[in-house]
Structure formats: structure tokens, C-alpha cells
Amino acid sequence: MQRIPLIVLVCLVVASVSAQEAAKPPVGFSRSSADALAKYERLVLDTPSPSNAKKWLEALTEVPHVAGTPAEKKVADYVRDRLLEFGLSVETVKYDVFLNHPKQVSLTMTAPSRQELALMEDTYPQDTAASYRGQFPAFHGYGASGVASGQIVYVNYGAPGDHERLKAMGLSVEGKIALVRYGGAFRGLKVKEAEERGAVGVLIYSDPADDGYVRGDVYPDGPMRPASAIQRGSVQYLSIQPGDPSTPGGVPSIDGAARITRDQMKNVPKIPSLPIAHHEAEKLLRQLGGPRVPDGWQGGLPFSYHVGPGGAAVEMKVEMDEGLKPIYNVMATIPGTTDQVLIVGNHRDAWTPGAIDPSSGTAAMLEVARSFGVALKAGWKPKRTIILGSWDAEEYGLVGSTEWVESNAAMLSQKAVAYLNLDSAVSGPDFSASGVPSLRDVMREVARLVPDPRQGGSVGALWEGRAKAAWAQSAPVTLGGPDREFDQQLGRLGSGSDYTAFLDFLGVPATDMGFGGSSGVYHSVFDNFRWMSLFGDPDFVYHQAAAQLMGLLTMRIASADVAPLRFSGYARALREDLDEIRTDVTKRARTAVGAPFLPDFASIVTALADLEKAGVAADAAADRVAASRDAAAAARISDTLIQVERAFLHPQGLPGRPWFKHQLIGPGLTTGYAPWPYPALREAVEKKDTTMFGAEAKRVVAAITAATGKLRQAAAVMPGR
């Protein structure tokens, strides 16, 4: 297929927005309501400034601020004080949750010679921003205490398929210490897989092929990971259940809550693990004997990798200070004129100074809040109450947001229109957004209004141009039908940030967004103010753009006459997800030994056709009601529309994962971060389990049918009745 230059695609996208489309009121608005809001939207565009974002970020990244520490409470108070300065009503919500901090950690190579391996990064004289004040050495959130010693076995990314490949070579990690590299699956699932296969400990390192010198110049001269950088992080089994592991099953960590002990927790490891830098991993990999690694396992270090065992052994000692520790969510509220609510959030805790993750998002959120303070003084009054959440302990396993959601589940189930998330909001210039399909239209509208500060045009036009370029080069084919036309979609949400509890546990429509770029400093001490000032966003203009976009999106959703959830394209997005599974099944069947696994998708295809018709009708009704300015009809249809996503839930949840109740999207069972559309169907495909597929297909059809019923109910709402 001929490749179309990106700039040409961008121009075509911009031109496709006709004058007629531009004249339409925004999604969910009457023309008069949109005109009345325009002056406040202008304030949201004009108020955020690069200088303020820079000021906030410098203060937020002054020291590392791990959840449960006094340094993190200080940052919580800083955010609270800024929100109060902006004129907002603020509350700090405290939870006591199970966390761990390192008391003593060490890693010693015991063969072929004895050598202590470093568990802190190097320092650079030009990097005064990489503060070590209060910095913990390398450890894993929810990592187990213990002493482990043994030979090293290298298992690539530590995925189930990697272990199976090792098994085919006549080897395993049983009784050994697994050395795996970051990438692919969530780190906690790497530990889980190794533990289940008999490993006594796990070391996880960042290979330069993935985010180091193979990818670009390394810090302090470039943005990529230097040899001593360590990726900290949690090893909670995120795809099983997030939140406080001492109160599983949707129970909030409030006073009097029944708690379980660490030994009873099923979503944290029982064997010790540590993150290490590739500078230290190299000392082990160079010594490994055994066969050369399979194709695809070779990393970027300048020698041939071997699997082991033999040649290298280590002793690891991990002693944790663990137990209940305080965390603090800082919540600001802007009252609306109806009883619906919109939640906007960003986490605040960081393993290190955390300039990208999460403080770029926190700085942008502070500018959003400042903009809202200006708009409120100018007379703006949203229809829906806005709750701004500054979450704590996200890094451990989405703890602060999950406990708040579980504590407020009844209210949110009835009243929440959407949850909008910022996490690592800025690491470069390229915008992307993920979310449920019902929020696609309002996201596209808003992104087209925000100017890109460096590349020209709008953020939305560039985003859509990149997406179309990628689509044009992938030659997508729809099974059983004609090749599909380009249709800009939001990316699918997996897990790994604070939207998870809202969407997967309660069925609240959610989005996540940010500006990305080349970065290799994730969860290291080099994710700091200097890195951002030199490589990520030197002029802080993308922090400003992130604030403008989130501010406009929030204002639109909070002020619309009718909740701006649109469903005409929802079924198409779900059909694309289904086609990916069907294509995968077809490919597997071609190479199957014996009878191929060929499940029947017909009932799901039929249900999606009904959903599409109902979505078109509901959108038409929403437009009629919005244009009529009939407040009673707007309230009725809005209340119905926000329940559509809830219809995709099942009270028993996913197989083996009852907390995850959404039937159409969720984190992959073996990926953690990455999404699995139709997660139970995907699991059945992975297991080649025909019985499971049939049972879960019935659940999926029931969920789609329930949502179709809600949409038909919405379509029946008429103005004046």
C-alpha cells in the first residue's frame, strides 16, 4: 500500500472539518448554551501559563515523595494550599492502607567472585536536580521480605511464553533466581510467573535495547536511560485486583474495615524481588553459561547473552518495614446545579522526584484548577458537580483512587458521568488519548480547539493525522466484510493508572491522555526537573496545552445540556476489537496441531448490530433534547446515558478476577498494563477452552443486550414530555 506523508494526512483531516460541522453546537449543547459558555472556555484557554506550570513542577519535584512518607504528606499539603488559593473548596481524605518501605536491601554476586551490586543510581555533577534527599534504594512496592540465594537463569521478559520456551530447552527457574528484563507485561506479573514456576527470587533490569543507549543518547546528555538508572515500581498483581491488598473484594480501607494479613493476600508476591540497573545486570549476564539465548531474547548489551544456569550466582536480602501507613487524597469540589458529578484526577505520589510521572500531570491539574477559579469568579456555574482528585499511593497499585471509589461506590454508580485522568501528562510533544468509545466525540472536539504550541495546527488535527498514517500503513481488514474506512478511535484502556476503579469496578466512562516523547528515565531518580527542563518540555508549553485540553474537556462535560456521551460509533469500536480476536483465532487455527480451536462469534456479531442501531437512535434523541433546552428531558436522557456503560458490568466479575466487573474491557490477565478487549473471551482463546468461550460469550451478549436496552430507553426520551 502506498504510504501517505503525515503532513498531507494532517491537511486532509483539517480540511475534512467542513464549515457545516464547525457551525454545529458542541456535543450535548444547544446553540445558545454553547454561545453562553464560550467566554468561560476562552478563560480556560487563556489562563494556563508555561511559567506557572514550571513553578509548580519545580516545587513538586524538590524531593522524592513515596506514598506513606512525610515527604509525600508535605506534597499533599502543597497541592491543598494551592487549590485553596485558587478559591476552591478542598478536603483532605485520609486512609490507612497496607504499604511497605525498605529497611535494608542488598544484592551480592557470589559467583564467579564476590561483589556487592549497586542499588542506587550514580550521581552527575551537572545534575543538581537529581536529589537523593530521602531517596529509598532500589525496592519493589509490595515486594516480599526474604533472603534468597542461587544461580541466575535469564528468562527474557519473564512472560509465560518465555518460561515455556525455557522449558522446551530443558531448563527452568525452579530453585533459581530469575533475571528478567522490563518490558511487555507489568512487573508484578513477571514476579508472579517466576514464583509459580518455583523461583526463589527475581531480579528485574532495564535492558538498553528497550529504553537505553540503543534508543538514543542517555542521561545526562540525552533523554534515555543511563547505565545506572533503576526502574522502581510495584509488584502487586495488578490484573488480579488493585487497591489496598489488606481489604480485598471491593471493601474500602476505612476505620473498622476487616483486614487480612500479608500471608493471606493473594495479589502480592511471596518471594523477594529487586529492580536493578543494566550496569549491574551486565555483570551477571556476562558470566552466564548454558545455551545461547533463543532468537528475540538478545538485548542491547555488547556480548552474546546466555540463559544459564552456571557462571553467576547471587544472594539477595530484602527486609521491609510494612504495615498500615497513612495516605492522603486531596479533593476539591466545584458544586453544580444538578446532582450528576464529573471526576477529574491525577496521582501525586512518586518513587523518585517524579517530574514526568506524575508531577507533569499534577502541574497541569493545578493550572486547570487555577483556570476554574478564574472562571468561577467571572460567573461560570457548571451543571454537574466537578470533583478534582489528587490521588495518593497510585504507584503501589492505584490505592488512593481505588479506596475512594470503593468508599463512594453508591454515589458514583448513580451520579458519575465520567472520570478524566491525567498521569504522566508530558514527556514530549505527541498527544494521544485512550478511553471508552462514548467519550470519543467530545475528546475530538476539544482537541481540535487546543493549538499545538510547536508543530502548528491543533492538537486534535495532529493526533488524528498520526492515527490515520498508522492506519493507512497497517492495511486493516474486517473479517467477513469490506475493508473498513478510517475512523478515529480512542485507544483502549487497560490498567496502570487511576481510571481503573472507575471503569472496571463501577462502569464509569473514563479517559486518559497526555503528550508523549522519547524517555528512558521512568521511575528512576533522573525523572526530575532537570530532565524535563532539557528534554521533555523545556519551555513548559505542552504542560500548558495539557491544562488547556483537560480544562476544556472538563468544562464541556460539566456544562453540557445533555451528558455528552455518544454511542453511534460504540459498536464499531467493539466490532474492531472482536475482529482482532477473530483474526487471532484464525491464525492459530491454521497452525494448530489436531482439531483447531474455532469458537462461534455469531451471537456477539448480532448483538453488536443491535447496539449500533440503538446507539444511532439514542444519539439522535440526545441531539433533539439538547436543542430543545427542555431541562426535564435533558435530565432524564442524561441519567439514562450514564447508565449505558454500567450495563456492561457483571456482578460476578471476570473469571478468577471478581473485582474486575466490566465484560468488554480490562487489563490483560498476563499483561497487567495492556488492555484485553473482551477479557474473558481473550482468556478462553489463550487457553483454547471451548466451554469457557461459550459461557463467556453468553455473558458478553447479555451485557451488550442490556446496554442496547438502555440506549433504546434513551432514544424514547422526547422534549416536552
Residue 525, C-beta contacts closer than 8 angstroms, at least 6 positions apart: 64, 121, 130, 131, 132, 135, 229, 230, 352, 353
pLDDT tens, 185-232? 999 999 999 999 999 999 999 999 999 999 999 999 999 999 999 999
> Which tens digit of pLDDT belongs to each residue from 648-698?
999 999 999 999 999 999 999 998 889 999 999 999 999 999 999 999 999
Q: What is the pLDDT of residue 470?
A: 84
Task: Tell me whether strands 313-334 and 385-391 are parallel, antiparallel or unpaired.
Answer: antiparallel
Which residues are designated catalytic? 394
How many Cβ atoms from other residues are within 10 Å of residue 164's Cβ?
A: 10
Per residue in 18-52, pLDDT (tens digit) is: 344 557 899 999 999 999 999 999 999 999 999 99
pLDDT tops 50 at residue 95: yes
Contact 130, 525 (CB under 8 A): yes
Separation of alpha carbons 401 and 244, rounded Å: 10
Q: Tell me the CA distances in angstroms from 328 to 31, 91, 467, 571, one per residue in order.
A: 42, 10, 38, 39
Pick the CATH number of 98-320 from 3.50.30.30, 3.30.70.1350, 3.40.50.1100, 3.30.590.10: 3.50.30.30
Residue range(s) occupied by CATH 3.40.630.10 in the chain: 6-97+324-559
Residues 590 and 468: their CA atoms lie apart, in Å, by 30
- CATH 1.20.930.40 residue ranges of the chain are 570-715
Q: What is the distance between the alpha carbons of residues 553 and 127, in angstroms, rounded to a whole number?
A: 37
Integer Cα distance of 327 and 313 in angstroms: 38
Task: Give the end-to-end CA distance of the chain in Å, rounded to a whole number.
Answer: 53
- Provide the 3-class DSSP secondary structure of residue 514: strand
Residue with cell 498500615: 324
Q: Is 108 helix (H, G, I), strand (E, B) or coil?
A: strand
Q: Which three cell numbers stand for residue 271?
A: 518471594
What integer best gives the mean pLDDT of the chain? 94
Task: Return d(Cα 637, Cα 417) in angstroms, integer.
Answer: 12
Q: Does the pLDDT at position 527 exceed 90? A: yes
Instruction: Check whether 297 has a pLDDT greater than 80.
Output: yes
Query: 551 Cβ partners below 8 Å, 6+ apart?
Result: 44, 45, 47, 48, 367, 368, 371, 372
The 3-state DSSP class for residue 709 equals helix
CB 365 within 8 A of CB 346: yes
Residues paired with residue 204 on neighbouring β-strands, in sequence order: 180, 275
Cut 0.75: pTM above it: yes
Mean pLDDT of 311-329: 98
Distance in angstroms (rounded) separating the CA atoms of residues 431 and 425 = 9
pLDDT of residue 18: 39
Mean predicted confidence (pLDDT) in 610-616: 98
β-bridge mates for residue 451, sequence order = 458
Better-scored residue on pLDDT, 421 or 481: 421
CATH superfamily of domain region 6-97+324-559:
Zn peptidases (3.40.630.10)
Domain spanning 570-715, CATH class: mainly alpha
**Cell 536480602 appears where?**
317
Residue with cell 453468553: 698
Residues in the chain: 721
pLDDT tens digits for range 122-181: 999 888 766 577 899 999 999 999 999 999 999 999 999 999 999 999 999 999 999 999
pLDDT band (50, 70, 90) for residue 481: low
CA 193 vs. chain centroid, Å, equals: 22
Which residues of the chain does CATH 3.50.30.30 include? 98-320
- Residue carrying C-alpha cell 493549538: 451
**Closest to 565 (Cα-Cα) out of 340, 230, 400, 408:** 340
CA distance 114 to 717: 75
Residue 305 has φ and ψ, to the nearest 5°, of: -80, 145
Q: How far apart are CA 621 and CA 616, in angstroms?
A: 9
Cβ neighbours for 567, distance < 8 A, ≥ 6 positions apart = 437, 438, 611, 614, 615, 616, 618, 619, 641, 644, 711
All cell numbers assigned to 426: 508530558
Q: What letter does residue 104 receive in the DSSP assignment?
A: E
Pairing of strands 416-426, 177-181: unpaired
The reported pLDDT for the residue numbered 20 is 44
Q: Provide the pLDDT for residue 531.
A: 97
Per-residue pLDDT at 16 exceeds 50: no
Say how far apart CA 299 and CA 210 lie, in whole Å. Answer: 8
Of 563, 581, 537, the residue nearest 54 (C-alpha): 537
What does the pLDDT read at residue 14? 41
Indicate the burial class of 432 (C-beta count within 10 angstroms; 0-12, 13-18, 19 or more): middle
- The rounded distance, in Å, linking the Cα atoms of 353 and 135 is 9
What nine digits make up the cell of 671?
A: 499483561
